[in-house]
Structure 1
Amino acid sequence: MSLSPLLNASLAIQIHAFLAIAAVVLTIAIFTLPRGSTAHRWMGWSWVTLMAIVALSSFGIHEIRMVGPFGPIHILSDFVLFQLVINIRATRTKNIRAHSRGMKLLSLGALVGAGAFTFLPGRIMYQVVAGG
């Protein structure tokens, strides 16, 4: 294992990767807390902020291009930003069931699902894990 491929990547990739990793750790913590507690709400807002920055930072990443400078990561990022708004709105309107389901699906899709693709051969996180 070597962090050098990530540390030698562009600043956008570094921000994107390190904050996504932080979001994974925070996700685990949030899911262990009692729902609606002060800690859950505080960590939840922190998670939303992290995920928004992760999504926004992807617009500085242009490794895979499909339409001009944009690729699949940008479609996912648009979806994440949209879902963050939808899930916050669900909480504010006291639709806790929709909020809970939406956040779980967002965590699973955006962090676990998309994160898995970063470990494919040739990708930076694969190089980190495989030792550069």
Structure 2
Amino acid sequence: MPAIIAAHIATAIFSVILGTAVLLAKKGTPRHKWLGRFWAVAMLATALSSFDIRELSPGHFSWVHGLSLLTIVSLGRATWAIRQGNIRGHQLAMRGSLIGLVMAGIAAVATPHRLLNLIVTGWIA
């Protein structure tokens, strides 16, 4: 497995775990804020690493990279919203980012011939 794909999968899994912890943490506490910062960095690493993966369209960006751009914009929007005191906007952007991450993972596992599908189904050694 190429190192960039391993890094992408690792940061994505870490992001799901950390994002769930942030979602379940009491809001507004120092713990929530620090976990949220770490989660945002992990999400950014996941999104940025995707730009070096071009398996769906070799040598070119695919529609999946548009989702990575959306994630980066969403993280920026969430950060801006909370700094403006817009808690609802922050919640919507962060929840949307986490839901998008989980859906992308499900799609990667469910799509035949994708590396994550092959790993999970055991078709790759």
Query: What's 1:84 paired with?
Result: 75
**Distance in 2 (alpha carbons) for counterparts of 1:29 and 1:49:** 15
**Distance in 2 (alpha carbons) for counterparts of 1:78 and 1:87:** 14
Structure 2 residue runs without a partner (length 5+): none
Could you say what secondary structure the match of 2:51 adopts?
A: helix
Aligned pair count? 122
| Per-residue deviation, 1:65 | 1.5
**Distance in 1 (alpha carbons) for counterparts of 2:47 and 2:88:** 24
The amino acid across from 2:37 in the alignment is W
- Are 1:118 and 2:105 matched, yes or no? no
- 1:9-38 superposed Cα distances (whole Å, 9 cap, x missing partner): 211111111100000011111111100111
| Per-residue deviation, 1:48 | 0.5
Equivalent position to 1:57, from 29, 43, 49: 49
Alignment of 1:1-132 (within 5 A): 9-65=1-57, 69-109=60-100, 111-119=101-109, 120-131=111-122, 132=124
Q: Percent identity?
A: 34
The amino acid across from 1:76 in the alignment is L
**Distance in 1 (alpha carbons) for counterparts of 2:92 and 2:70:** 16
Could you say what secondary structure the match of 1:89 adopts?
A: helix
Which 4+ stretches in 1 moved above 6 angstroms?
none
Q: With a CA cutoff of 8 Å and minimum separation of 6, indicate the structure with the bigger relative contact order.
A: 1
| Per-residue deviation, 1:52 | 0.5
**Distance in 2 (alpha carbons) for counterparts of 1:82 and 1:28:** 20
Structure 1 residue runs without a partner (length 5+): 1-8
Could you say what secondary structure the match of 2:79 adopts?
A: helix
**Distance in 2 (alpha carbons) for counterparts of 1:17 and 1:96:** 30
Normalising by structure 1, we get a TM-score of 0.88
